[in-house]
Amino acid sequence: MTRKNRTHEHAIQLLSSAAIRSLALFTLACLFLVLPAVSAQAAGLLKPVGADASLEIRSHSVDVVINNGFARTEVDQTFGNNSDQDREAIYSLPLPKQASLSELSLWVNGQELLGEVIEKKRARQIYQEQKAKGNDTALAEKDDFKTFDVKVGRVPAGGEARVRIVYYQPLEIDLNVGRYLYPLAEGNVDEERLAFWSVDDKVSGRFNFHLTLKSAFPVKDVRLPGYDTEARVQKVSGMGEGESSGDIYEITLDNEGGADLSKDLVFYYRLDDSTPARVELIPYRENPQDDGTFMLVVTPAADLQRITEGTDWTFILDVSGSMSGHKIATLADGVGRVLGKMNPNDRFRLVTFNNSARDFSGGYVTATSENVQNWITRVKGIQSGGGTNLFAGLEMGYRRLDDDRTSGVILVTDGVANVGNTEHRQFLELLKNYDLRLFTFVIGNSANQPLLDRLARDSGGFAMNISDADDITGRLIQAKAKVLHQNLHDVQVKFNGEKVSDLTPTTIGNLYQGQQLVMFGRYHGSGEVAIELNAKISGQNRSWKTTANLPAIDQDNPEIERLWALSKIDGAMEEIREQGEKPKLRDQVVDLGLEYSLVTDYTSMLVVQDDVLENEGIQKRNADRVQRERQAQQQKAAAPVKSHRVDRSPSGGMFEGLRAPSIGSGPVGPLMIPVLVWLNRRRKNNR
């Protein structure tokens, strides 16, 4: 498999259980990296280094609703100014994965001013003009893949300013486990930002986090790791047993005495083991005269066999400056644990990188007891420092592969490519020379998620994002299950007929055990449409079919339009990162951002008074869209949970009645409670 003379699927069948155990143990070691709270910064108020402390966050309230495959997150904050002069406040939030910031509100004299989206340069110019005049104004910008930055032009002297942001994001269920992340921890990967700004991540007053989960399928467990004794969990309703049931949960954290915005919040929920493999289609169509939009969620079940034979593993380890302190020490300890558990017939190779790459092990090493002990000692002596030459690390990791042995590569990084070759196309060209699966484990927030996701997808591997608040053991179980089995590869979805267009993403790649497929599309007309899922297993073609109804009117989920537009924008940005900025692609991002009121790399959300909007000729597109969304949200809040499954039939649907692959206990099961208690005790002892 190491070169083009082997197929991905042949390699998949040759992976050994011993090698898989090694990967699983290594994954666990990697995940342990995030147990200590090592971030120097977090979400919060940006202040120039050495600036006074007159500004503060007086309250921070988060309201999340998870329903029908996507989440709506609303963040309501009050900033206080303890000085005798008006101040500008800048709040930074690590960019949530696949998030569309769609509302920015500023309260002036008790009235809500709602933001509108315009091109980035123009928005910044108007904001600066209004701030200079002492007028109330706010601005939300996207800093590439790193952060959302919200600026409030005037926090009055001795007074307060209240701001709210809202963003949507699709959520995927993995092995019957759903995961929602509210990112707060700073990734420490932007050196220029760290050099200029300090971050005040303290909330002096009330901190409140409230999450509502609405599931059309029975929920077996819910978890908020790290807050098992503090979070209030209430099951609001449950409608019996079986596929037609649904559950509603309310989860609340409330602290009147302040809080730190330095640690992510992660919420898990596990569906009942009886939950079927299925196809769900969530539509939105305002009226028959306009095109409709839909989100398609496929939870497949197939005969994916366990893997039986062995492989070599190359570990590519980030030892740059952002890994300093306890991270690098824990990395060394974790690699040592992995080496100590390897089979004597296995081979391992260690490549490290910062400003440059180093073949740390000098090639493959047979995992004998003597060799293992020797390399454990050497790994523990690794020192961190320097930049992140990710390209050099990958390039060296791909050298000296053995054509007679199956190989896999595991990349562990918390940073971004900021030294050497940094363009996406250079990484993609490198991967084209090898028929080799790459598994990327991305530690923390603000990493170059678009690049790392693309590298994993194009190689046939997978990417997993790890937070310091994750249930470490549960995430390990999820990763292990993927490499333990064959996968669906060359996955394609077809809609038979002429009613569907603009499917996104255009390339799916592979699906591993328990993974969902989430796609968006547009449709014309109405009525029945055939859906066909095609893939290969062990080189054999497989096909699954069902039908769905595309309604003439369905006004329940107007947010689907924004999620479709965001997915289209992600596709265009992927091309821009690979090919460079071209006018056609840039215009596509701008047009979608303006039409669907989304903050992008080229558009920002601006809050000004109505007379300024009128004078600047800015249409109230977002105000109209928000009104529809809020009305739909109110109606759904009072309604029972609605199932959008479309593949019901006497034969059991597209997957013939098979259950969705399940994780067992996993990150939300009762067996993880003692483990979590132990991990929390370990974390406290290490402080």
Tokens of 28: 């666990």
Q: Which of 222, 223, 232 is nearest to 255 (CA)?
A: 232
CA distance 199 to 191: 14
Spacing of C-alpha 124 from chain mean position: 28
Query: Torsions phi, psi of 466, nearest 5?
Result: -120, 130
pLDDT value at residue 375: 84
Do the bridges between strand 278-284 and strand 292-299 make them parallel or antiparallel, or are there none, so unpaired? antiparallel
Residue 426, helix vs strand vs coil: helix
Alpha-carbon gap, residue 586 to 580, rounded angstroms: 10
- Phi and psi of 385, rounded to 5°? 155, 160
On the question of pLDDT at 536 being above 60, the answer is yes
For residue 265, the model assigns a pLDDT of 92
Residue 37 CB-density burial (10 A; 0-12 exposed, 13-18 middle, 19+ buried): middle
Q: Over the chain, what is the mean pLDDT? A: 82
> Would you call the peptide bond into 94 cis, given omega within 30 degrees of 0 as the criterion?
no
Q: What is the pLDDT of residues 6-50, one digit of tens each?
A: 333 333 333 333 333 434 333 333 333 333 333 335 788 887 766
pLDDT of residue 182: 93
∠ Cα 681 685 687 (to 5°): 120
Which of 176-190, 245-259, 334-348, 653-667 is least confident?
334-348
Least trusted range by pLDDT, from 250-254, 274-278, 566-570, 577-581: 577-581
Contact 300, 511 (CB under 8 A): yes
Q: What confidence category does residue 441 fall into, taking pLDDT thresholds of 50, 70 and 90?
A: confident
Query: Rounded to whole angstroms, how far apart are CA atoms 569 and 450?
Result: 12
* pLDDT above 60 for 291: yes
Strands 219-223 and 265-271 come out as antiparallel
Check pLDDT > 70 for residue 668: no
Task: Tell me: pLDDT of 196 over 80.
Answer: no
Confidence of residue 462 (pLDDT cuts 50, 70, 90): confident
Selected residue with higher pLDDT from 481 and 575? 575
Instruction: Report the percentage of the chain scoring pLDDT > 90.
Output: 48
> Per mean pLDDT, which range of 79-88, 168-177, 206-215 is the poorest?
168-177
**Residue 395 identity:** E
d(CA 282, CA 102): 20
Specify the CATH number for 8-32+311-484; select among 3.40.50.410, 3.90.950.10, 3.65.10.10, 3.20.20.10.
Answer: 3.40.50.410
Q: What is the pLDDT of residues 380-406, one digit of tens each?
A: 888 888 888 999 999 999 887 766 666
Q: Which has more confidence, 685 or 557?
A: 557
Which among 95, 471, 4 has a CA at the least distance from the CA of 266?
A: 471
**Separation CA 438–CA 8 (nearest Å):** 11
pLDDT mean over 619-633: 95
The DSSP-derived string for 235-298 is EEEE--SSTT--EEEEEEEEETT-EES-S-EEEEEEE-TTPBPEEEEEEEBS-TTSPEEEEEEE
Spatial separation of the C-alpha atoms in residues 442 and 223, rounded to whole Å: 22
* Cα→Cα distances 20→125, 337, 409, 624, 638, Å: 54, 15, 12, 52, 47
Q: Which two tokens stand for residue 157?
A: 């002297």
Nearest alpha carbon to residue 3 among 537, 454, 407: 407
Are the beta carbons of 349 and 407 closer than 8 angstroms? no
What is the per-residue pLDDT across 637-663, written as a single tens digit (0 to 9) for each? Answer: 888 889 999 998 777 789 988 999 887
pLDDT digit string (tens) for 145-168?
888 999 999 999 999 999 999 999
Contact of 210 with 264, CB cutoff 8 Å: no
Beta-carbon contacts of 327 under 8 Å, excluding residues fewer than 6 positions away, are: 33, 36, 38, 384, 414, 443
Closest to 464 measured CA to CA, from 442, 496, 486, 494: 442
What's the pLDDT score for residue 245?
56
Query: CA 218, CA 378: separation in Å to the nearest integer?
Result: 50
DSSP character for 127? Answer: H
Report the pLDDT value the prediction gives residue 149, as an integer from 0 to 100: 93
pLDDT tens profile 132-141: 999 999 999 9
Q: pTM for the full model?
A: 0.84
Amino acid at 185: A
The residues, any chain, with a CB within 8 Å of residue 410's CB and separated by 6 or more, are: 23, 26, 27, 313, 314, 315, 316, 439, 441
